[in-house]
Amino acid sequence: LQSQHQITMTETQPNPRSRLYVLILLTALSALTFMDRQILAVLLQPIKQEFGFSDLQIGLITGLGFALTFGALGIPLGRLADKHERRSLIAWCRGIGGCIAAAGAMASGAGGLTASRAGAALGDAGGGAASMSILADLYAPTERSRAMSVFGVGGAIGASLALLLGPLLAQWWGWRVTCVN
């Protein structure tokens, strides 16, 4: 029975180039979302100096702003991905979330910076589960772990880019420009 299931899965799979394209695209989107999530970590010092925030305020902005939004949206957006078109959900959540995160560059205080963290959380909450669901449909069980691993590497790439390039961009152009990039 299992071998019949594997044959059926293989026969219905799109061609390998299409699957690879989707995997690379979803991984790149994940990397961008993780950049949005991590970039604030390297910008904390100039933000603290500009606004005079305490460590507690920075912790609330960076941690709680993301965690509360992700916690509130993760399950409902996952459910939405189960019932509706996942590509559109990914595009809207990653796009709007990225724009809100970039809008943190215009922040005039803690509220704006917290909203930018909420944007990063929206992109992650709406895009992560739907992306994994698409990959699960595209890859047979014997290939699925490898595809999910590649997708998971997107987060590490994005975080690394934020932590490596963020300080350079901040030094050259300031924290606000870096927040947009």
pLDDT for residue 7 is more than 50: no
Is residue 124 within 8 A of residue 70, CB to CB? The reply is yes
pTM: 0.84
- What gap in Å lies between CA 65 and CA 13, rounded to an integer? 40
Model confidence band, residue 92 (pLDDT cutoffs 50, 70, 90): very high
Model confidence pLDDT, tens digit, residues 26-85: 999 999 989 988 988 899 999 999 999 999 999 898 888 899 999 999 999 999 999 999
pLDDT for residue 5 is more than 80: no
- What gap in Å lies between CA 162 and CA 98, rounded to an integer? 14
- What gap in Å lies between CA 14 and CA 32, rounded to an integer? 26
Is residue 43 within 8 A of residue 166, CB to CB? The reply is yes
- Confidence (pLDDT) at 134: 95
Is residue 31 within 8 A of residue 128, CB to CB? The reply is no
What φ, ψ does residue 174 adopt, rounded to 5°? 95, 165
- Confidence (pLDDT) at 13: 61
Helix ranges restricted to H, 84-109? 86-102
